[in-house]
Every structure is written in structure tokens, then in C-alpha cells.
Amino acid sequence: MTRNAIIKVRNLTAGYGEDAVILHDVSFDVHEGEIFVILGGSGCGKSTLLKHLIGLIPPMTGEVIIDGDDISRCNEETFHRILQKIGISYQGGALFGSMTLAENVGLPIGEYTDLPPDSMAALIKMKLGLVQLDGFENHLPSEISGGMQKRAGLARAMALNPKILFFDEPSAGLDPVTSAGLDNLIIQLNRNLGTTMVIVTHELASIFAVAHRVIMLDKRVKGIIAEGDPEYLREHSQNRFVKQFFNRRAEA
């Protein structure tokens, strides 16, 4: 069964001025309900592409369509409506250190809803429960581990029941056991909630654990050099750079 494309990127050229083009004429779709991974070596444009997908940077040319709206060329009202459809889990958690976990998760709820305090508190408790942080509502970020901070950031990203969750290097800085636990949580949330997930990473273990489909960027071509199932690409890709990446081999 063919699934609808909830994200459509068409002929995207991205960079920081005419002399610093990072990506050229990139096109791809992200389907509803899939875990989609953007990967590649250092400097290939993963972070630049993510910033375009969430509307932080407008493209030089091309379109980024989120659930039917072009995020790069919409008016302010439409942009705010799009923002309520997406959640972003940042690399370091990006929690406010002077605020409790409940207060951090409550920020977008207070900004975008008119829920009474009791209902808001119940929703915050539920979101923290989804990421296995029951009972930690009143803890400060400094009082919990790095892995717990990542999960608290994920709870905040899910606060408004977004259709799409974006992750920026979710496993960065985590030990292998904690990283595997986060991978399992991502899989569980995707299965239970059906949320579309877009993950930027270069961590091979996480890629093989969670990805339904990937695109691989390469700085030499300023674009996509592979797309598909990571297991298939590891075994069958004819591109030697792709084979080296997925098999963790140094260049000869």
C-alpha cells in the first residue's frame, strides 16, 4: 500500500551565499508514519537540510512542503500552523536549566493551548510517562542523566501531539546501552503513535536499528548518492562510498 508523502522536498538548493552552496537540486519524499534517516559524512549538509525542513533557513531555490504547505514561502499565520504539526528533539536536549522537567514540557502547551492548570499538569505527566520519566516532573535538568535529558527533550517535542518529529543526532554523547534504549523508545513511539520521524545521524548502530528508509548525502556531489533500506544498501549498493560508510571501512 502506497503511503502519502507528508514531506516533499523539490529541487532544493541550499547554502550560505552563491559561493557556499551545500546542497544542489535535492528532491525526496518522507512518507506518513515512517522513520526516515538523513545520513552522510561530516560536512555533507545533514544539519543544513534539517534547518531547511523545520523552516529555520529559506532555500536558495526549490520547495519544502510540510503536510501540504510550503514552509519556505508561507505567511506567518501558516508558518505557526505548521510549527504546531512538528516537534524537534535537539542534540543536547536544549532544556532550560532553571526550569523543572514539567515546566520545560509545559512551555509549548502554554504557548499554543488554553488548557486549565489541572488539564495541563495531567498532559505534562502523560508526556513524561511516554518517555519513561514518570515521577521526575519536579527535577531540574542538572539532576538527571544525559540520556534522561534527551528523553525529557523528546517529551517536550511531543507536547502538542505533532504529526512529525525531527531528531538532531539523538545518540550523540550517549553510551551504547543508553543509545540503544533511546533507539527502542523511538521505535516504540513510532509504532504506538504512528508519528512520522525524521532523524539526522551518522551512528550506524542506530541507523540499522530504527530506519525504515534513508537518504545518504555526499559533499562531493552536494546531494543524494543513495536512498532506500540501509540493510539493502550495505549489501548491494554499487557506490563505493556508500559501501564504505555502511560497512565502516576506511578509504583505500
The pTM assigned to this predicted structure is 0.92
The whole-angstrom separation of Cα 6 and Cα 194 is 13
Which CATH code is given to the segment(s) 33-55+83-246? Answer: 3.40.50.300
Question: Residue 17 has what pLDDT?
Answer: 72
Question: Residue 251 has what pLDDT?
Answer: 66
Mean pLDDT of the chain: 92
Domain ranges across the chain: 33-55+83-246
Question: Residue 19 has what pLDDT?
Answer: 75
Q: Per-residue pLDDT for the chain (252 aa), expressed as one digit of tens each? A: 457 999 999 999 998 876 789 999 999 999 999 999 999 988 899 999 999 999 999 999 999 999 999 998 899 999 989 988 999 998 777 899 999 999 999 999 998 899 999 999 999 999 999 999 999 999 999 999 999 999 999 999 999 999 999 999 998 888 899 999 999 999 999 999 999 999 999 899 999 999 999 999 999 999 999 999 999 999 999 999 999 999 987 665
Question: Residue 228 has what pLDDT?
Answer: 97
Question: Residue 32 has what pLDDT?
Answer: 97
Question: How far, in Å, are 4, 101, 159 from residue 134 at the CA level?
Answer: 35, 11, 15
Nine cell digits for residue 25: 537540486
